[in-house]
């Protein structure tokens, strides 16, 4: 599915698509789609710019920031974007981008791939940090145990040998007070 300038010169384009998991290449791979991604999008030409308005909704599987267990989250977003032909960049850099131009993207060649627009919007819709549950205890930094499942094995006296100098320093600090 391509949002092509040639076609937009003749008429606006509308898409209503469902992307099954695996059909969009998200590259980074820190999440995966847990359900089909629904996208509605309209595109029209404004001068040399492609104006894209749309919304998407779906469900992602991410890793808990503390224990790395999979967590599913719904995402939904609306977007209103302008894409300029890449040849316009040089001129804008001379002029300097105005603050309200921050939503401006660029396209190379004949237009935009719908999947690229969608992938970018999914990245922007990603939750900053997810936890499987508020009480998730994550991993112990000392023994590496998943504290949701097992007890910490560090014990009160065990100190990582690499941290021993630090422990000594802390002890000295305390005693010198």
Select from 82, 143, 146, 159 the one that contacts Zn ion (CB under 5 A): 143
Q: Which of 56, 66, 107, 118 binds Zn ion (CB under 5 A)?
A: 66
Tell the smallest beta-carbon distance from residue 3 to Zn ion (Å).
Answer: 39
115 near Zn ion, judged by CB under 5 A: no
Nearest to 50 by CA among 58, 62, 41: 41
**Closer to Zn ion by Cβ: residue 57 or 145:** 145
Cβ 66 to Zn ion shortest distance, Å: 5
Radius of gyration of the chain (CA): 25
Residues 144-173 that bind Zn ion (CB under 5 A): 152, 154
User: Any contact of residue 136 with Zn ion (CB under 5 A)?
Assistant: yes
Smallest distance from Zn ion to CB 61, Å: 13
Per CB under 5 A, 63 contacts Zn ion = no
Q: Which of residues 19-58 bind Zn ion (CB under 5 A)?
A: none
Among residues 41 and 62, whose Cβ is nearest to Zn ion?
62
Q: How many CA atoms lie within 13 A of 89 on its CB side?
A: 8
Alpha-carbon gap, residue 159 to 107, rounded angstroms: 55
Q: What DSSP line would sit under 46-113, residue for residue? A: ETTEEEEEEEEEEEEEEE-TTT--EEEEEEEEEEEEEEEEGGGHHHHHHH---GGGTTEEEE-TTEEE
The CB-of-136 to Zn ion minimum distance in angstroms stands at 3
- 8-state DSSP, 36: P
- Point out which residues pair with 58 in neighbouring strands: 75
C-alpha to C-alpha distance for 27 and 61, rounded to whole angstroms: 15
Instruction: Give me the 75-114 binding string for Zn ion, x by CB under 5 A, dash otherwise.
Output: ----------------------------------------
Applying CB under 5 A, the residues found at the interface with Zn ion are 64, 66-67, 132, 136, 140, 142-143, 152, 154
């Amino acid at each position: 599915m391509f949002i092509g300038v040639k076609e937009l010169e003749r008429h606006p384009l509308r898409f209503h698509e469902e992307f099954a998991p695996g059909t969009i290449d998200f590259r980074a791979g820190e999440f995966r789609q847990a359900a089909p991604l629904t996208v509605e999008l309209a595109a029209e030409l404004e001068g040399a710019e492609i104006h894209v308005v749309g919304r998407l909704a779906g469900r992602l599987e991410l890793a808990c920031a503390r224990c790395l267990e999979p967590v599913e989250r719904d995402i939904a977003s609306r977007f209103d974007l302008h894409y300029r032909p890449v040849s316009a960049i040089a001129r804008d850099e001379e002029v300097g981008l105005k603050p309200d131009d921050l939503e401006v993207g660029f396209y190379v060649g004949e237009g935009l791939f719908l999947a690229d627009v969608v992938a970018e919007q999914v990245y922007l819709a990603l939750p900053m940090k997810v936890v499987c549950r508020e009480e998730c205890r994550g991993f112990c930094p000392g023994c590496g145990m998943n504290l949701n499942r097992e007890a910490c094995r560090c014990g009160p006296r065990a100190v990582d040998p690499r941290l021993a100098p630090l422990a000594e320093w802390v002890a000295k600090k305390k005693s010198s007070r």
